[in-house]
Amino acid sequence: MVEAILLDRKRLIGLSAYLTGQYGVRDLFVGVPALLGAGGVERIYEVPLDPAERAAFDEAVKNIRENVGLVTR
């Protein structure tokens, strides 16, 4: 990650990014594939998910929201 940012290598990396509507999620950091370069997260890739993958993703988002709620009270 450091190399991708410092050397502007434009690497596709799985990372936690702030979503603004991608995958139907807003205002939450979630692990997704993204292009990382000197500008930080330069693009978030929305890959097609089959129904089982989508259900698992949605469950993870639900759990993340719940955990964020616990620490921001």
Which residues of the chain are under the pLDDT cut of 50? none
pLDDT score recorded for residue 73: 81
Burial profile 17-47: b = 16 or more Cβ within 10 angstroms, e = fewer: bebeebbebeeeebebebbbbeeebeebeee
pLDDT score recorded for residue 42: 97
Predicted structure pTM score: 0.87
What is the span of the domain harbouring residue 29?
Answer: 2-71
Number of domains in the chain: 1
pLDDT score recorded for residue 72: 85
CATH code for the domain in which residue 63 is found: 3.90.110.10
